Structure 1
Amino acid sequence: MDLKAPRGTQDILPEEAAKRQFLERAFADICRRYGYGEIRVPAFEYTELFVRGVGDSSDVVRKEMYTFLDKSDRSLTLRPEGTAGVARAFVEHGMASRPAPVKLWYNMSMFRYEKMQKGRYREFWQFGCEIFGAGAAEADAEVIGLLDAYFAELGLGEVRLEINSIGCPACRESYKKALRDYYRPELPRMCDDCQIRFDRNPLRMLDCKEDYCSSLAAGAPVQLDYLCDDCRLHFDRVQAALEKQAIKFVVNPLIVRGLDYYTRTVFEFISENVGSQGSICGGGRYDGLVREIGGSDVPAVGFAMGVERLMLEMEAQGLVLGSPAGPDLYIASFPSTSADALALAKTLVGEGLAVETDLMNRSIRAQMKAADRMGAAYILVLGEEEVSLAQASLRKMSDGSETRLSLSEVGQYLKDRS
């Protein structure tokens, strides 16, 4: 048997990792400037967290989770999404006692057993942000504004923001009744999943991708017509805050999101370049989640963004992602001076430079070719004479010019020119 990566996973090689690091650094920086702190939570949680938090009617819980029993017969699940775990950490560590709002960001791998398609894997990465303790509509607008600013800094265009409000539990009940009344005559012809959703959460029927079911969604009642006064005011304020930030958006009443914890505002950034479902990222408000998993009544809002889908969109738009940087210096050596080269490299690395040496006892000619292939800025040939005199010539790879220096001066010389 040939051992390969499991279906739905991928090896991230150095060239790919450099592209991801470019996106990660930019995301971490925009989060820092907006006042978010990084959080990291376990890759697996007790299954009950996702059943209670994400919702047992969601496709994620019903079909897509990687769940297993540990050696003590406890049911554990690899995290299929980030918000439930972050909310659990918020409760467990008493973060509600911190000055509100508590603003967190993450960059984590997720796991879902789902159908393979463009930009979707069974192990995938997400960037995300969460705000706990802010119930105002402006908090919804801030997380959307952060995303808009991030996309602008990446140079990303051709994505559209779609927003909706799915109301609060109180006004949603009348909407669910209207949906059931609408779908009931068609139910026998609908897919098996929608048969289940009809009783558990009819809002999810609006998001069904089966042809017949999706054709019915266009004529379904609209949640916006059933919002209570408070939810209507909240949604109006979200839109006003987006307009103040000059963020363009479209109200799409069919956006419901796939996780049961959402309330009021939901949103997605959509593109035509990343496959049939088109969503690069999405999020919304989830005011009942913290209470549902055992915490106090804390309002919250956030989003998650698929890194692989973001990369697809960047590439589709012809935007350049990061590539591995070549070393500042390659030290070529002879067998008699290879240990000296290693010692010099260690000193220079300690000064903050990127340095490569030969570890294969190659000829000087072969080492110079290697330095060129890896994109080294300079090369230094360290022979016995150079070691004895503690001097060497630095050659600039781009034009072949040489500078004679003492070995103790090499580090500062390179830093002055980096």
Structure 2
Amino acid sequence: MSAEFAAPRGVPDYFPPASADFRRVRDTLTDAARRAGYGHIELPIFEETALFARGVGESTDVVSKEMYTFADRGDRSVTLRPEGTAGVMRAVIQHGLDRGQLPVKLCYAGPFFRYEKPQTGRYRQLQQVGVEAIGVDDPALDAEVIAVADEGYRRLGLSGFRLELTSLGDAASRGPYREALQQFLFGLDLDEATRRRAEINPLRVLDDKRPEVKAATADAPLLIDYLSDDARAHFDLVLTHLKRLGVPYELNPRLVRGLDYYTKTTFEFVHDGLGAQSGIGGGGRYDGLMQQIGGKQDLSGIGFGLGVDRTMLAMEAEGVAHADIARCQVFGVPLGSDAKAELVGVAGQLRAAGIGVDLAYGDRGLKGAMKAADRSGARLALVLGDRELAERRVEIKDLTNGEQHQVSLDAIVDEVRKLLG
């Protein structure tokens, strides 16, 4: 009996030509971080469940509803990573990176997993690029992290996005605000689950996406009105540095991120071309996370997570040009088995010289092989038949203008290099 398999629901495949755009987005966003001094870190796909429960927050939707958690063969509870910050902080603690030069500046990319209703731009396996700068509480560093994300988006050709930001304050800000917010929320007609959330972490209620809850909390007190003097001074400096960096922004005092560890600077990049799921990336500062997950120090950090899938949708909405999908620079067209054997060796020489090469495999005739060369996106075609082989020469055809000439097989690498520039 035969069976047809499909990718799990909410898990996208990326294959040509879309995979070229995927790589372009991922690489451009990570390159922007590397230019600012962020080194690469490769994180485990799964971690101990307690890391996320403690670091992300028990009351968040991510922990309470969305994590892929299971027992491994040793009956240990493990979870497919739903986000990157807790894993990076765990690695910093475990390997003593916090005992070296600060800040520790790290960049990562890869898949993350959340169980939620799949829809356009919201997947159960989502792809992100992230950075974390740990160990220094400096408003200039906050501005740098935001500017890195802004630069990445602009290098991709995006222009229709905006940066929204606010401050979620420090410990001195949170106490008075929590009291005022809870007093407001307990005066509403909330369902039992929402009321429990208001008791545990009232900020989470403001992150509720249900229209009836959003309407009921529209007049809730704003945290930015309760900032301590230190938190206010910190945020004002962040705004000053963003202006110096030329990064435009909009203040959004109602911005609430979906994870518990955020403090002070908090931001989100929004693209209105994506409809209801308008966020394409965001992040913020997190104080106290290191101690929450067992660190002996309590170092502050700042970071972001940028959605590769969402960014691709934003590029599509703006009509940004697609990435080059050429599989190779040179395409070999052998006419006969002896010619094919020769071109296999030539392909090896060219690849060793750093040139992308593909061949017409199978028993295609000239017409079919040249169609394959055109579809490959190659700049040059190498056509070799029995007569050319006997003369130790190969015909080179420029597929962009149709010009062609012959060159000695012994000089093929130098000639191809010259033609490709």
Q: How far apart, CA to CA, are the structure 2 residues paired with 1:328 and 1:185?
A: 68
State the 1:85 CA deviation.
0.6
Give the alignment of 1:175-190 within 5 angstroms: 175-186=177-188, 189-190=189-190
> What's 2:72 paired with?
70
**Structure 1 residues 9, 155: closer, same or farther in 2, change over 3 A?**
same
After the TM superposition, list the runs of 4 or more consecutive aligned residues in structure 1 that deviate by more than 3 angstroms: none
Q: How far apart, CA to CA, are the structure 1 residues paired with 2:192 and 2:16?
A: 44
Contact kept, 8 Å, 1:117 with 1:275, in 2: the verdict is no
Contact kept, 8 Å, 2:121 with 2:277, in 1: the verdict is no
Which residue identity is paired with 2:328? P
> What's 1:23 paired with?
25
State the 1:289 CA deviation.
0.8
Q: Which runs of 5+ in 1 are unaligned?
A: none
Contact kept, 8 Å, 1:325 with 1:375, in 2: the verdict is yes
Contact kept, 8 Å, 1:119 with 1:275, in 2: the verdict is no
> What's 2:239 paired with?
239
Give the alignment of 1:75-154 within 5 angstroms: 75-154=77-156
Give the 3-state SS of the residue equivalent to 1:57 in structure 2: coil
State the 1:245 CA deviation.
2.0
Are residues 1:9 and 2:5 paired? no
State the 1:417 CA deviation.
2.2
Q: How far apart, CA to CA, are the structure 1 residues paired with 2:402 and 2:143?
A: 54
Contact kept, 8 Å, 1:328 with 1:414, in 2: the verdict is no
Which residue identity is paired with 1:305? L
Q: How far apart, CA to CA, are the structure 2 residues paired with 1:304 and 1:337?
A: 51
Which shifted more, 6-15 or 373-382?
Answer: 373-382
Q: How far apart, CA to CA, are the structure 1 residues paired with 2:211 and 2:93?
A: 41
> What's 2:317 paired with?
316
Residue 379 of structure 1, aligned match among 375, 378, 381: 381
Contact kept, 8 Å, 2:25 with 2:311, in 1: the verdict is no
Q: Cα deviation per residue 1:340-391 (whole Å; 9 max; x = unaligned)?
A: 2211111111111111112211112211121122222222222233333321
Which shifted more, 294-303 or 269-278?
Answer: 269-278
Give the 3-state SS of the residue equivalent to 1:105 in structure 2: strand
Are residues 1:280 and 2:308 paired? no
> What's 1:332 paired with?
333
Contact kept, 8 Å, 1:261 with 1:288, in 2: the verdict is yes
Contact kept, 8 Å, 2:30 with 2:129, in 1: the verdict is no
Q: How far apart, CA to CA, are the structure 2 residues paired with 1:64 and 1:123?
A: 11
> What's 1:292 paired with?
292
Contact kept, 8 Å, 1:180 with 1:198, in 2: the verdict is yes
Give the 3-state SS of the residue equivalent to 1:301 in structure 2: strand
> What's 1:368 paired with?
370
- Percent sequence identity is 42
Give the 3-state SS of the residue equivalent to 2:123 in structure 1: coil
Contact kept, 8 Å, 1:175 with 1:226, in 2: the verdict is yes
Q: How far apart, CA to CA, are the structure 2 residues paired with 1:360 and 1:191?
A: 67
Which shifted more, 201-210 or 397-406?
Answer: 397-406
Q: Which runs of 5+ in 2 are unaligned?
A: none
Q: How far apart, CA to CA, are the structure 1 residues paired with 2:324 and 2:42?
A: 26
Contact kept, 8 Å, 2:167 with 2:235, in 1: the verdict is yes
Are residues 1:219 and 2:224 paired? no
Q: TM-score of the superposition, structure 2-length normalised?
A: 0.95
Contact kept, 8 Å, 2:165 with 2:265, in 1: the verdict is yes
Which residue identity is paired with 2:129? F
> What's 2:305 paired with?
304
State the 1:148 CA deviation.
1.7
Contact kept, 8 Å, 2:331 with 2:376, in 1: the verdict is no
Q: How far apart, CA to CA, are the structure 2 residues paired with 1:23 and 1:35?
A: 19
Contact kept, 8 Å, 1:207 with 1:254, in 2: the verdict is no
Which residue identity is paired with 1:306? G
> What's 1:268 paired with?
268
Which residue identity is paired with 2:352? G
- Aligned residue pair count: 416
Which residue identity is paired with 2:363? N
State the 1:241 CA deviation.
1.4
> What's 2:204 paired with?
204
State the 1:192 CA deviation.
5.2
Q: Cα deviation per residue 1:126-175 (whole Å; 9 max; x = unaligned)?
A: 01111011101111111111112222222211211111111123321221
Contact kept, 8 Å, 2:29 with 2:149, in 1: the verdict is no
Q: How far apart, CA to CA, are the structure 2 residues paired with 1:400 and 1:156?
A: 35
**Structure 1 residues 389, 9: closer, same or farther in 2, change over 3 A?**
same
> What's 1:399 paired with?
401
> What's 2:47 paired with?
45
State the 1:300 CA deviation.
0.4
Q: How far apart, CA to CA, are the structure 2 residues paired with 1:142 and 1:376?
A: 40
**Structure 1 residues 365, 23: closer, same or farther in 2, change over 3 A?**
same
Contact kept, 8 Å, 1:111 with 1:123, in 2: the verdict is yes
Q: TM-score of the superposition, structure 1-length normalised?
A: 0.96
Q: How far apart, CA to CA, are the structure 1 residues paired with 2:261 and 2:130?
A: 16
Residue 35 of structure 2, aligned match among 33, 56, 61: 33
